[in-house]
Amino acid sequence: MGREGHRLAAPRAFAATLLSVLALTARVASPETPAPSAAPTAPYAPPTSSPLAGPLQAAVRALSNEHVFKDAVISLEIADVDTGQILASFHEHAAVNPASNAKLYTAAAALATLHGDHHFETVLLGTLKGSSVSGNLVLRGYGDPSLTTADLFALVQELKGAGVRQITGDVMVDQRFFDEETTPPGFEQQPNEWASFRAPVSAVALNENTVTLSVRPGEVGSNAQVRFDPPGFVDVEGDVKTSDSGADTVGLELSANGRRLHAKLSGAVSRESRIVRYTRRVDDPTLLAGYALKALLEEAQIKVGGEVKVATGREGAVIARHESAPLSALLYSLGKQSDNFYAEMVFKSLGGEKKGRPAKSASGAELVQRWVDKVGAGDSGLVIKNGSGLFDSNRTTAASVVALLRAAWRDPTVQPEFVAQLSIGGVDGTLRHRFRSARTHRLVRAKTGTLEDAAALSGYVLSPSGHGPLAFSILFNHVAGKVAAARAAADTLVDIMARTAATDSR
């Protein structure tokens, strides 16, 4: 779940219809005259008399009549960003699960509210006395989704460079920028999923609140070298052997050990393997960064007198500081890579920065909804609960998504950074293996979305003629077992949009 696949062949009937549609496109012909299951099945109705609409309306009609989608709910709209004219649509107001297209709302609202130059801070606080931090050393975070073990190491080196050789008290973790709810809305639907895409959120989050086991083969018959990153958080039982050949059979079982983790290792790794890595989410991230910080302090020969605990009060002044890359850069992970953790962290941080602390996911949702209504992208049935679109939480419509895309494009304070974080067709992100033809390469900028029962693609088709782009949203629900067909149909429709844009004579 959450992974994007390669493009497969379009359904046969739709592909055949494409031939006649492309001929029509070449002439730019005159135009022809609540829950997803509740969406009505209505006849197709051309929405506009624009000269651009003919080939797009024909293509949408072909898609909507495709037998493979007879049980699907489709919400679709294509619009001219410059004029706002709707060029083609189908059930554009049907409320459906947008999957990862929900990240479009998170990214646009974050850029409009926090702005692209926003940085997330993580600081160390304490009282310096000579070569000691007298009392507790506090690690405080403000929702940085990108904090890594290397960043903690840099903070430790900053302390060491200041002459610190001892922490007389405890290592305290201050998570109070966020509320105590670490499970984003909807994530409770799969509580036993340990994959990293379902990681919890926290104000101080390290390595996206995951642990990574690295296994390096040794001599045949000996134990392989194993290491967990971040350090200090996982107790290890068992071992991994080095085999002469064959497939890697490493077993990793994680269980709670207080506020830390216990790992049971088994199996073998081939001597021919390079380093093998396995990443799993942390169930309780409250003290993850604190245990890692303590381990790094001790590796740097800075003695820690106490334990790792949860901070409850203010402790001294800032004595070391880490600043994230700007939000505009962090959104590349959210948009291009469809990173659920980044999306939920940014979504929740909106509440803490602009509504009140501690930050709550509900506050983030309120702020996103407020921005959506402000720019005229609201629609009946719109539901915003989480920032990633993971699981079955959100509802949107193609009309709402297209209105959002148009608003983001037309806002000069949002457009450059919003478009930059979208995947580029045939180049990067989740579209690197799609839209590789000369007609679409680099001209499609879009966000994908994939769940077991949903497929989505929304974004822009840029015009080589210099006109404004076409904005589109193609949302499929009820396509379990047919996601590849839905994705292929969406790609074919976008290909037709690209031909239309190439022959645009507006």
- Summarised one tens digit per residue, pLDDT across range 97-152 is 999 999 999 999 999 999 999 999 999 999 999 999 999 999 999 999 999 999 99
Alpha-carbon span 344 to 178, nearest angstrom = 12
Burial environment of residue 432 by CB neighbours within 10 A (0 to 12, 13 to 18, 19 or more): middle
Q: Which residue has the tokens 């994939």?
A: 450
Buried-state track 83-109, b at ≥16 Cβ within 10 A, e below 16: eeebbbbbbbbbbbbbbbbbbbbbbbb
Tens-level pLDDT at each residue, the chain (506 residues): 444 433 344 555 555 555 454 444 433 333 332 344 434 334 444 455 666 788 899 999 999 999 999 999 999 999 999 999 999 999 999 999 999 999 999 999 999 999 999 999 999 999 999 999 999 999 999 999 999 999 999 999 999 999 999 999 999 999 999 999 999 999 888 888 777 888 899 999 999 999 999 999 999 999 999 999 999 999 999 999 999 888 889 999 999 888 899 999 999 999 988 899 999 999 899 999 999 999 999 999 999 999 999 998 877 899 999 999 999 999 999 999 999 999 999 999 998 888 888 999 999 999 999 999 999 999 999 999 999 999 999 999 999 999 999 999 999 999 999 999 999 999 999 999 999 998 899 999 999 999 999 999 999 999 887 788 999 999 999 999 999 999 999 999 999 999 887 776 55
What number of helices (H) and strands (E) belong to the chain? 11, 23
Q: How far is 177 from 179, CA to CA, in rounded Å?
A: 7
Cα-based angle 418, 421, 424 (whole degrees, multiple of 5):
115
DSSP state of 20: H
- Contact by Cβ (8 Å): 164, 151: no
Structure tokens at 490: 């969406």
Radius of gyration of the chain (CA): 25
- Which DSSP letter does residue 496 get? H
Q: Provide the H-helix boundaries in 96-191.
A: 102-113, 149-161
In the prediction, which pLDDT does 34 show?
39
Closest CA to 36 of 365, 456, 431: 456
Q: Residue 191, class by beta-carbon neighbours within 10 Å (0-12 exposed, 13-18 middle, 19+ buried)?
A: exposed
- Kindly report the CA angle at 14 between 459 and 17, in degrees rounded to 5? 110
